[in-house]
């Protein structure tokens, strides 16, 4: 147990209903104490406790980790706790929300283009639409399962490069060297790539990397159609432009979900089948 893990649990307990605080504190601290023996990350357990307190305020869930062994409740096999949220999913959802809010702010700033006010806040908005999502995505990578710590670290490093690339596109600097569709294509395909890489996926599952690229092509066609009507208000055109640019990022989340399902089915299909029954007799 580290100081950060303990602070996360303390914050989670303080956010919990008063009737559940003592029980949750005891259970969560017991989980942290036994994390090393169970081969679990104490940081992930602490984050799980924190998200449980945020999103299951009235529930008695101990953590948001679906398959984590519990220290006081016997678990046989893999037991899926209903109505829980994984911390990675929450971080990715917050990253997309930050991009959406940043796009809306850019649209509003577009009405004051060229003014000192717009120039002052433009870099701050760039952080909202690119910097904050990048940090949240790196947090999700650090908490992801399936891959090694080295893979997760390398994926986080690649995410820094993708964040800088997307930020250069937002401020317009990157468009001096490459078309915007190419920059977005590299960012969305790279985002799926680093996610699959961090989680140690192999085989045909890598084909899902093409999904956000295909969605990007469709979004670009929709943009060209929308901008064919130059009589539309500038605010409408700006809103259409940025919303269609965010669609491929939503496709990244869909690709990640598909990758998880494909991998789960592959592991199930590859699982060894017992040739004997419980009594040791061959099955017919």
The predicted pLDDT at position 161 comes to 94
Give the separation between CA 137 and CA 267, rounded to whole angstroms.
Answer: 26
3-state secondary structure of 71: coil
The predicted pLDDT at position 189 comes to 93
Digit-coded pLDDT (tens) for 19-74: 888 888 888 888 888 877 777 777 777 777 777 777 665 544 444 444 444 333 33
The predicted pLDDT at position 117 comes to 63
Please tell me whether residues 26 and 141 are part of one structural domain: no
Yes or no: say if 131 and 101 are a contact pair by the CB < 8 Å rule. Answer: no
Q: Does the pLDDT value for residue 76 go beyond 50?
A: no
170 located within any domain: yes
Q: Which residues span the domain enclosing 254?
A: 87-266
Please tell me whether residues 26 and 113 are part of one structural domain: no
Sequence-ordered list of residues with C-beta below 8 angstroms from that of 35, at least 6 positions apart, any chain? 1, 41, 42, 45
Please tell me whether residues 60 and 165 are part of one structural domain: no
**pTM of the complete model:** 0.64
Digit-coded pLDDT (tens) for 190-234: 999 999 998 888 888 888 999 999 999 998 888 888 777 667 677
Digit-coded pLDDT (tens) for 153-179: 899 999 999 999 998 888 777 778 888
237 located within any domain: yes
276 located within any domain: no
259 located within any domain: yes
Please tell me whether residues 57 and 99 are part of one structural domain: no
Closest CA to 260 of 99, 67, 43, 75: 67
155 located within any domain: yes
Across the chain, what does the average pLDDT equal? 76
């Amino acid at each position: 147990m580290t100081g950060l893990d303990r602070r996360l649990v303390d914050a989670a307990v303080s956010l919990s209903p008063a009737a559940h605080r003592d029980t949750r504190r005891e259970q969560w601290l017991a989980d942290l104490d036994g994390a090393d023996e169970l081969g679990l990350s104490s940081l992930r357990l602490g984050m799980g406790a924190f998200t449980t307190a945020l999103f299951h305020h009235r529930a008695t869930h101990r953590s948001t980790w679906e398959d984590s062994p519990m220290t006081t409740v016997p678990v046989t096999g893999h037991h899926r706790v209903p109505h829980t949220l994984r911390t990675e999913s929450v971080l990715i959802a917050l990253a997309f929300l930050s991009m959406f809010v940043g796009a809306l702010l850019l649209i509003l700033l577009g009405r004051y283009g060229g003014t000192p006010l717009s120039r002052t806040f433009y870099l701050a908005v760039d952080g909202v639409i690119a910097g904050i999502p990048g940090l949240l995505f790196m947090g999700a990578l650090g908490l992801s399962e399936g891959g090694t710590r080295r893979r997760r670290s390398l994926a986080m490093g690649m995410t820094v490069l993708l964040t800088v690339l997307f930020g250069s596109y937002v401020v317009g600097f990157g468009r001096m060297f490459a078309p915007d569709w190419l920059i977005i294509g590299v960012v969305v395909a790279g985002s799926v790539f680093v996610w699959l890489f961090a989680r140690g996926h192999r085989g045909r599952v890598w084909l899902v990397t093409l999904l956000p690229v295909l969605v990007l092509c469709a979004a670009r066609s929709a943009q060209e159609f929308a901008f064919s009507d130059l009589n539309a208000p500038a605010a409408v055109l700006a809103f259409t432009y940025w919303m269609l640019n965010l669609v491929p990022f939503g496709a990244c989340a869909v690709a990640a979900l598909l990758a998880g399902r494909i991998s789960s089915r592959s592991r199930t299909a590859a699982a060894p089948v017992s040739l004997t029954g419980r009594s040791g007799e061959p099955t017919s």
